[in-house]
Structure 1
């Protein structure tokens, strides 16, 4: 939209953004436990608007308390909305005060909604020659869009003009009200036409032209949906009335009066001190009162960068860029490929960036009618090989492990991985945002990037990247390299300012990238015949369970149908209703069935059937389909930047969820086999989290038990029940084991009672006895909670930060969960750090000494290797020594090693 700055009116839907900020952003509290996260989110959004529209007229509009004309027209309007959360309600007044203090005009009108005020101001502004930007995330506002009115959602940096409204809804802006009247709105409880979805509504309006015409010719619509339309004819006018934004509200202010005032520095400073927006406060004191981002933002949004992107299509262009890359201290690069699966992907093109805003794309294998000439892929890769394989040439990327794997498919071993923006963001705060490039660009750079779907299409119509027009591909791919470089320049100073995080990043996360890459490329050998055999056995077991369930129910039913299960359990068998769905129906989810299964047989049978069905479909039937035809192996993907605690996760296939304690799970592990001449070796840390607890707590009894190599559960039972270790009964040891592991995960007396099958008072007695005998553990837990309250995070032994934003929440359930996290996360996170350090150490040994050993899997606290048969004893000793030396704890780290022809035997 091109317009004179002083004739632009920006209307901010404050209520919409308050709700969205509250639900979309991590909870944030100040030292008094007052929630301020939504205030931070909206204030940051207003700050960005000021920088984007420095001379515009602006108003921030909120819903006024009390009923509106829509409530009078329809008593059930918004009746299904849950009550406003207390933590959200508490932020309304501070936000209003902050908005006014920042100098923004704030509007609220009784009897109408914020939408109606915005609609009225929009119409008046157009009459006065303004162009209008409505800052909102509310789809209803699309009815206001025209040639001089656009919607901007500053929460996700999207913009909606007439074309975008048509694309999103399938109807033009002038038909949005008709569209909304047909589809209804569950949030506002607008009835609409039952069973009429967005596609049907758009089709009807395209066919009939308008809602009035559709209603007049409703008899022409056939089928069940036609019956639904005709049955709704009486209520449709009400739905249309409720969906229509009122544009004639009597207002005391005109658009040209909506001017942002210069804030009073003293008043703003006092408010920021009260809210404890310390980062903003520091900037305020340094800038004399200009509004700045609040506590959740590490620094000002970067200024817009001019972009110069180039397509490298000639040998001369390539030589020029090669010379620049060879002279660069650090360069960003990215690959564009034929597939997301790295084990099958080939390179279509590469992009590079050295300076912000300047990047190049080298197309190599685009293939479509009329495609321009491209450089030869193999020749280009050979010219790049010395650069990419040189460990002294520093490289930067976003999720570089994928690019390393793809380059390996072309015989290039990527070395010199110096930085990865995904890991920089993850180490800074594993919970703050998603760590993909598009999310990071929006979060840190305030930039809306080109998405893959924008150039390749969506769903069934999506084309391979090789068929994307080279000009569009250049804009997309060069931006990837450019944004990655700019993200690094933003994130790296933040890491450098935190020595412990910088060390974790440089010593653990970055060195782990090539380790995981090698493991993924090596893959795991799988016996498909063993899996087929196990699939048949599981199918037979499922049939047995199904018959038993039918007998128990007294009739056949579908064990995979929640609705039929609900009918059988609650309508026919009258089992107690433990929990209800949001729609008020008795729940049949896993936790409910588990609770019922403790008393009733049918829920137990259903649960077992579900578990076996999932095991069979996920592993027995799916794994053979995931074999790579080139290698004959399964190649998983390990994810470094997913779990908040630092643990690795795996997918496609997920090798970390195969049950180890069930017979069925063990039989599936038997299908993971060693190649001829090799054995599988599984090395597992013994009770690592309990050992970390002993180290962190410094409890003398725990330290002594581990130092003497005692059975820790028997030793705990002897302490708690005040008896000699040799006199500990099986039940006492079982109770001690439940306490040992339960307390790590913050288990309450109620949870322990349920697990042990004892009364709550007895379970509480066990916990009290435990803490009396292990006072260091109690002190550690208290200290962890207090540290989290003061700093907002806890740390692992190696400095990884684990943020717990709800630690001061007023909501008791959220606060208690945060307290449990504060206790458990340092142990889980330290365990994750230890096995990562062990993997790096073992991999360096393999790479430097080249023993007949391959690391092929990581599963929680376990590493799995292929070891040549004649090297088993020597290999086991070398692996154990390096794993046990991965951390220097106050108790011994013990690694248990097993070997066999398959994973089941080795574990």
Structure 2
């Protein structure tokens, strides 16, 4: 990589900075109300950039309002972009005045974009002997990169040379234009080739050197087995014109006529008098102070990395402008009592602040706190280290002293706390005798309430999605393999940047997402009334945990191991040879090639499938697939539970502490891990043995409270079907009632088999099951299944109408809603692929019921927890939640009283048009209670 400090030219994409600054500092204004956030933020970014690279030449390049030559080529180019906000627009003129007075050259050329001006200057400067650094967030600029022209991303301050471009995009700079020509660029409305995504485009370009070569070798593509070649060739042929149009649009013009050269773009001395007047007018007091200190743009001499480390060690307050000047934000490290007192005072007088904990592990029950970070204002944050440990580390404040100082602040209910995973933070602090209160906002749950179907609600994904900001991953700074560091071994400079940026971005994300939540009453209600109040409830359940009978599990594991050996021998005998039952490849050869079983399905890669679905069908006629299925089931239970559960027993509590996750499932249901309680089989004998291992402490027993047929009751409420409402109101067995209606027999004459069939119909249809699916479930013909379905809807016309209306609403809105307003988005509801569209329609029918059931049990948990907190010495505790079931640990002499109270709260948590009913069971272990 070229030395960027030698004879360097920096070209700044002004609008890239401008929008970043505007959204980072949205609330800044003068006392008269004139907005200054974009001005303040952009000046900070420019100052940090120049401080770091100390360029000899620089230009700030703006776009000019009006059409460019690309609009003449393609009228829809960037047509989807919204107009610049008014409160940003009015900051442009004063900002340019300030930049000019600072001695920074400004360029703006009509008829072309800033990219074209930057591209022209970059190539000319390279020929003139300059090293060039282009500061932008525009990925199109990657095409300009050479060994002397580099990009610096305004979002994460990463420098990209040719090798970094290949690593990020999969192709060298010379093929970046071709990449966008194929896959398009939604941000600029460049169409590309519809249906060709990033992976396919990269694969094609790695094989062929550009789109011209691709179109010259279409016949070769058909021979490449790694592609869906026929489909790709079809798309390439159909959209050839769009591909070459996109190539033209994505190409940066590098021959713009300019009346200057790069040598004219010298960083000049600032006009102090003009700047002082401008800073005063726009109340930029911090910048006025820079003028007084005579350090507007550059330090008196360049600071190398060694000198920078010396500065850090000598200063108790580490400012990012000293050790990390490339960042926009101002981050501090708190190392002395005076600084801590100042920050505590600011935090105490704030309405809200974001909180981030850095810990030694992800186990809230045993972890130590390495440090805290806080942010009250976007762009400003502080890191308070208390447990960093490495040679020559600066002296830090005492661990216990810091906890005592923070305790009143963190337990203050009047100051709102914003976090990115507050349940974990609460659990950690609880162990340190701090009850985190005022938990009002969690970015993970804000994102989840807005749209549960989005992939990823973690801070890194959200920062990119909402702010266009690439946060540094922890793994990147702690390294990997044998050189991996713990967070406590990181230098304070590195740790401060990382931890403070998390607090800063968490705050910015909250402001951004909260604006969207306030527009939508349903998602906002879900967030405020269900998801946030549930955090301490789940935290208490996790902390209490559940006792495990380790001896029983060991015995069960041994028995299953013996059965697996016998099943393996049986499978070998049936197959006529030995093979690895866990190998899909070997199993495929045994089933389809040696024994000639009919192939029923293929995997995505085109291989013959040996999935559970396929084996279940084959098992009807052949014994070997049945043996394989049993082997797989037992093997999974052994590895996931009987072997693993004893290893999860906590050494301090002697209990298992599962982790509950609120932001994983699409419908709002809770999920759990370590162990996953939701997937323990309920009906098999092995599953019941596992449940027997979940036991109560001495003198106590378990109470299991399970909502009875809650989704069918919700269907009755939603559909207002008279038949369903009547059956539930009369407390009839709903499956017998359905059997009576569908099979046309008296209620009292319904057989056990008929009831089971009716149960399959009831639950199948609320999951949107088709006659084909029902036929497969009941092992009957599709014709007979269709008769059942038609008969069902004849008897329950309200259900039919509800399903029809729900499909239509989903089609119109793109989502369906639960009773409380949780939105369940359906991106494939208008998909041209009939399989995906039908799946989305089935989800549209079931999601409101499953989602409402999830909302009800969450509200129930909140209500029960609230009642328990009112008791000085509660006789029972909530210890598990699994689907529609809650499990409690209670003193034996209070079981009757506890059961009555639990049942009352659960059945009255929601006022549906049919009664909610709860089945209560009691036992020494979970299986007995269930």
**Could you tell me the TM-score, scaled by structure 1's length?**
0.73
Asked if structure 2 preserves the Cα contact closer than 8 Å seen for 1:9 and 1:56, the reply is no
SS at structure 2 position matched to 1:390: coil
Matched residues in 2 for 1:817 and 1:122: separation?
Answer: 51
What does residue 255 of structure 1 align with? 254
Q: 1:829 to 1:498 in 2, by over 3 A?
A: same
Q: Say whether residues 1:392 and 2:417 are aligned partners.
A: no
What does residue 267 of structure 2 align with? none
**Matching of residues 92-491 of structure 1 within 5 Å:** 98-99=76-77, 145-150=146-151, 160-162=160-162, 164=164, 187-188=203-204, 255-257=254-256, 306-491=328-513
The alpha-carbon deviation at position 393 of structure 1 amounts to 2.8
**Matching of residues 531-546 of structure 1 within 5 Å:** 531-546=553-568
Matched residues in 2 for 1:7 and 1:397: separation?
Answer: 33
What does residue 883 of structure 2 align with? 860
Q: Of 673, 683, 694, which aligns to 1:661?
A: 683
Matched residues in 2 for 1:517 and 1:416: separation?
Answer: 15
SS at structure 1 position matched to 2:417: strand
Matched residues in 2 for 1:831 and 1:334: separation?
Answer: 33
What does residue 834 of structure 1 align with? 856
The alpha-carbon deviation at position 5 of structure 1 amounts to 4.6
Q: Deviations over 1:361-381 (max 9, x none)?
A: 110011111111000111110
Q: Of 885, 907, 921, which aligns to 1:884?
A: 907
Q: Of 624, 641, 647, which aligns to 1:625?
A: 647
Matched residues in 2 for 1:106 and 1:751: separation?
Answer: 58
Asked if structure 2 preserves the Cα contact closer than 8 Å seen for 1:337 and 1:346, the reply is yes
What does residue 790 of structure 2 align with? 768
Asked if structure 2 preserves the Cα contact closer than 8 Å seen for 1:305 and 1:357, the reply is no
Q: 1:719 to 1:624 in 2, by over 3 A?
A: same
Q: Of 775, 779, 783, which aligns to 2:805?
A: 783
**Matching of residues 381-780 of structure 1 within 5 Å:** 381-780=403-802
The alpha-carbon deviation at position 502 of structure 1 amounts to 2.0
Q: 1:395 to 1:102 in 2, by over 3 A?
A: closer
Q: 1:817 to 1:170 in 2, by over 3 A?
A: closer
SS at structure 2 position matched to 1:351: strand
Asked if structure 1 preserves the Cα contact closer than 8 Å seen for 2:660 and 2:670, the reply is yes
Q: Say whether residues 1:793 and 2:815 are aligned partners.
A: yes
The alpha-carbon deviation at position 496 of structure 1 amounts to 1.7
The alpha-carbon deviation at position 492 of structure 1 amounts to 1.4
Q: Deviations over 1:89-114 (max 9, x none)?
A: xxxx9x9652275799999xxxxxxx
SS at structure 1 position matched to 2:877: strand
Q: Deviations over 1:660-701 (max 9, x none)?
A: 010001001111110111101111000110110011000010
Asked if structure 1 preserves the Cα contact closer than 8 Å seen for 2:564 and 2:635, the reply is yes
The alpha-carbon deviation at position 344 of structure 1 amounts to 2.3
The alpha-carbon deviation at position 460 of structure 1 amounts to 4.5
SS at structure 2 position matched to 1:656: helix
Q: Deviations over 1:173-222 (max 9, x none)?
A: 9999xxxxxxx999339789xxxxxxxxxxxxxxxxxxxxxxxxxxxxxx
**Could you tell me the TM-score, scaled by structure 2's length?**
0.71
Matched residues in 1 for 2:755 and 2:739: separation?
Answer: 5
Q: 1:666 to 1:487 in 2, by over 3 A?
A: same
Gaps of 5+ in 1: 11-51, 63-92, 108-117, 177-183, 193-248, 260-303
Asked if structure 2 preserves the Cα contact closer than 8 Å seen for 1:6 and 1:55, the reply is no
Q: Deviations over 1:207-266 (max 9, x none)?
A: xxxxxxxxxxxxxxxxxxxxxxxxxxxxxxxxxxxxxxxxxx99999523599xxxxxxx
Q: 1:120 to 1:360 in 2, by over 3 A?
A: closer
Matched residues in 2 for 1:142 and 1:583: separation?
Answer: 34
Matched residues in 2 for 1:553 and 1:716: separation?
Answer: 44
Matched residues in 2 for 1:360 and 1:653: separation?
Answer: 36
Q: Deviations over 1:568-625 (max 9, x none)?
A: 0111001111122344332223332233223322122112111111110111111111
Q: Deviations over 1:316-339 (max 9, x none)?
A: 111111111111111111110000
Moved more, 661-670 or 483-492: 483-492
What does residue 904 of structure 1 align with? 927
What does residue 235 of structure 1 align with? none
The alpha-carbon deviation at position 656 of structure 1 amounts to 1.3
Asked if structure 1 preserves the Cα contact closer than 8 Å seen for 2:374 and 2:500, the reply is yes
Q: Deviations over 1:767-811 (max 9, x none)?
A: 000000000000100111111111111110011111112212222
Q: 1:121 to 1:767 in 2, by over 3 A?
A: farther
Q: 1:624 to 1:852 in 2, by over 3 A?
A: same
Moved more, 354-363 or 731-740: 731-740
The alpha-carbon deviation at position 653 of structure 1 amounts to 1.6
Matched residues in 1 for 2:886 and 2:15: separation?
Answer: 61
Q: 1:676 to 1:164 in 2, by over 3 A?
A: same
Asked if structure 1 preserves the Cα contact closer than 8 Å seen for 2:331 and 2:496, the reply is yes
Asked if structure 2 preserves the Cα contact closer than 8 Å seen for 1:639 and 1:648, the reply is yes
The alpha-carbon deviation at position 546 of structure 1 amounts to 1.1
SS at structure 1 position matched to 2:387: coil
Asked if structure 2 preserves the Cα contact closer than 8 Å seen for 1:356 and 1:486, the reply is yes
The alpha-carbon deviation at position 871 of structure 1 amounts to 0.4
The alpha-carbon deviation at position 434 of structure 1 amounts to 1.6
Matched residues in 2 for 1:436 and 1:253: separation?
Answer: 35
Moved more, 758-767 or 125-134: 125-134
Q: 1:157 to 1:865 in 2, by over 3 A?
A: farther
Asked if structure 2 preserves the Cα contact closer than 8 Å seen for 1:121 and 1:254, the reply is no
Asked if structure 2 preserves the Cα contact closer than 8 Å seen for 1:143 and 1:175, the reply is no
Matched residues in 1 for 2:862 and 2:589: separation?
Answer: 54
SS at structure 1 position matched to 2:255: helix
Matched residues in 2 for 1:351 and 1:124: separation?
Answer: 45
Moved more, 445-454 or 735-744: 445-454
Gaps of 5+ in 2: 17-59, 82-109, 177-199, 209-246, 259-325
Matched residues in 2 for 1:645 and 1:330: separation?
Answer: 30
Matched residues in 1 for 2:654 and 2:773: separation?
Answer: 46
What does residue 244 of structure 1 align with? none
Matched residues in 1 for 2:67 and 2:148: separation?
Answer: 21
SS at structure 2 position matched to 1:98: coil
The alpha-carbon deviation at position 459 of structure 1 amounts to 4.3
Asked if structure 2 preserves the Cα contact closer than 8 Å seen for 1:136 and 1:153, the reply is no
Matched residues in 1 for 2:791 and 2:431: separation?
Answer: 59
The alpha-carbon deviation at position 145 of structure 1 amounts to 3.9
SS at structure 1 position matched to 2:922: strand
Q: 1:133 to 1:749 in 2, by over 3 A?
A: farther
Q: 1:119 to 1:505 in 2, by over 3 A?
A: closer
The alpha-carbon deviation at position 732 of structure 1 amounts to 2.3
Matched residues in 1 for 2:164 and 2:593: separation?
Answer: 48
Q: 1:854 to 1:792 in 2, by over 3 A?
A: same
Asked if structure 2 preserves the Cα contact closer than 8 Å seen for 1:9 and 1:131, the reply is no
Matched residues in 2 for 1:598 and 1:848: separation?
Answer: 56
Q: 1:153 to 1:809 in 2, by over 3 A?
A: farther
The alpha-carbon deviation at position 733 of structure 1 amounts to 1.8
Total equivalences in the alignment = 717
Q: Deviations over 1:495-548 (max 9, x none)?
A: 122223222211111110000010111111111111101101111111121122
Q: 1:810 to 1:699 in 2, by over 3 A?
A: same
The alpha-carbon deviation at position 822 of structure 1 amounts to 1.0
